Structure 1
Amino acid sequence: MHPAAEHSPLGKSSEYVSSYTPELLFPIPRAAKWAELGLSAETLPYQGVDVWNCYELSWLLPSGKPVVAIAEFSVPADSPNIIESKSFKLYLNSLNQTVFTSREALHEVLVSDLSAAAGKPVGVRISSLDEITAQGVAALPGECIDELDIEVSSYDHPRPELLRCDPAQVVEQSLYSHLLKSNCPVTSQPDWGTVVVEYRGAQLDPASLLAYIVSFRQHSDFHEQCVERIFLDLQRLLKPETLTVYARYVRRGGLDINPYRSTHALPISNERLARQ
């Protein structure tokens, strides 16, 4: 368990406050998990962002009438802190009986509070349900590897030694799997996700990638660190010209977390998948 998470509300009984309480946000420094991967804030080999989608955003108009909306939060991957997920939910619930004069006023408060917790500016977008409905459900680019015939016997920790590539063949491709699963390091609840690997480099053996992804199945770690570990293991193996790894996780408690890590700046579409 991350040492800071022991003091967070995650895995504990909590009172749900329905009036604005920014103090509920609980930042967890990224430094300890970076250190586990041999990284520091000065040596990160990737760019990226953690995209959070909130499906339970509500507040009151000055008339007392409630509003519901969906919010997207973009936390820089190099921010000093992640925001612990339960504290994030508790904070958002504290807006339920709070009056805001406009959507813009709420937006300003969210940007201020979340940026203070993350330690870097956080992007916020608030959308109506009609706007989200119009976006529909996305299909992923590339090849799904889930139907490959593999034998699996290891589930307890990531096994990069399973990965194979052909250095003589340089390719550009996109592979994805819906079989990513890990466990919350605090509550042991399952985290389900889809992981996408896009790269230009030594040809990766898709079956070995699938076996490697399945090896996370009983591994305990936060969403962000799982994606960072996958990125680093593939970077070491492929020595790619370009590499992007991102995961679209299933929501829990009205929030989903979608970490993106890449060797280069890339546009984030944040298109919802079928399980989201």
Structure 2
Amino acid sequence: MHTAHDSPLGKTVTGSDCYDPGLLFPIARAPKRAELYIDGTLPLHGADIWNAWELSWLDARGKPQVATATFHVPCDSPSLIESKSLKLYLNSFNETRFDDHETVRATIARDLSLVSGGDVDVALHALDELVDTRIASLAGICIDNLDLDIDHYGPPCPDFLRVDTRAAAVEENLVSHLLKSNCPVTGQPDWASVQIVYRGMPIDRAGLLRYLVSFRRHDDFHEQCVERIYIDLLARCAPEHLRVQARYTRRGGLDINPWRASAAGTDPGNPRLARQ
């Protein structure tokens, strides 16, 4: 079984000047899901949306080409892909000749699907396609300006989560830009904005903010943090419908944006936020 500490993270690693899918490193999702009592049928739907901003290769005549790429890794894949290994893998394209853009796209889709064990969707974007891309915001009520004291920064504390059981069900989008966790290998900080879309008894906003801040000293990968938030909200607040997405800031030319939902077909899209 591959673990985070076996990965290239935190180590000096020599990359490759030519295409090398062997650089990709999978990390099994099952052990961390077991900590959340997820076993067997997943109580969630979703994907990990990666944006790759540094992608280049050589055309058939040796001239460099550049593009950006988006990868959708389904959450039901057995493994997530460790980010440094993906960066090294993409760098191995830099001095490799490919016949056309479609060959590059299909190669990446095949390799990521094989490593993750899921059907990974890959799209390449020419730079002129991005000219009119605007900075977006997560729709909803931002809870960051609540007037409250906070003194718990880890471990994540689901006891903060509560609902008003006397109130009628509501439909709300709640947003916070204060989510921070840490890489479980290097200890480097990971920063994110998070959106919680739900239908059910009103979630106490002060408790929710305290809960999100309690990830501040927590060590886990992006995907694992989002699943923990989703499962804790599901268990403590019992919403009729729930979707959690986090938009993480970029590192090494990559940003990772997991989302998890109680229903299929609720993809939140891929908006580019101010810190991305």
Asked if these proteins are the same fold (TM beyond 0.5), I'd say: yes
User: Quick one: which of 75, 78, 83 aligns to 1:77?
Assistant: 75
User: Quick one: which of 75, 89, 94 aligns to 1:96?
Assistant: 94
Q: 1:21-52: per-residue Cα shift (whole Å, max 9, x none)?
A: 00000111111111111112x23110000001
1:55-134 equivalences under 5 Å are 55-134=53-132
> Which SS does the other structure have where 1:166 is aligned?
coil
Q: 1:32-81: per-residue Cα shift (whole Å, max 9, x none)?
A: 111111112x2311000000110101111112111111100000001000
Alpha-carbon separation, structure 2, partners of 1:66 and 1:168: 63
Whether the 8 Å contact between 2:77 and 2:118 is mirrored in structure 1 is yes
Match for residue 246 of structure 1?
A: 245
Question: What amino acid is the match of 1:111?
Answer: A
Q: Which 4+ stretches in 1 moved above 2 angstroms?
A: none
The number of equivalent residue pairs is 274
Question: What amino acid is the match of 2:250?
Answer: R
TM-score normalised per structure 1: 0.97
Alpha-carbon separation, structure 2, partners of 1:3 and 1:62: 36
- CA offset at residue 205 of structure 1? 1.2
Match for residue 22 of structure 1?
A: 21
Percent of aligned pairs with the same amino acid: 54
1:193-212 equivalences under 5 Å are 193-212=192-211
Match for residue 273 of structure 1?
A: 273
1:96-245 equivalences under 5 Å are 96-169=94-167, 170-245=169-244
Alpha-carbon separation, structure 1, partners of 2:158 and 2:10: 30
Alpha-carbon separation, structure 1, partners of 2:68 and 2:221: 23
> Which SS does the other structure have where 1:225 is aligned?
helix
Alpha-carbon separation, structure 2, partners of 1:144 and 1:267: 21
- CA offset at residue 176 of structure 1? 0.5
1:87–1:227 Cα change, 3 Å: same
Alpha-carbon separation, structure 1, partners of 2:6 and 2:228: 25
**Cα RMSD, aligned residues only:** 1.2
Gaps of 5+ in 1: none
TM-score normalised per structure 2: 0.97
Whether the 8 Å contact between 2:70 and 2:123 is mirrored in structure 1 is yes
- CA offset at residue 18 of structure 1? 2.3
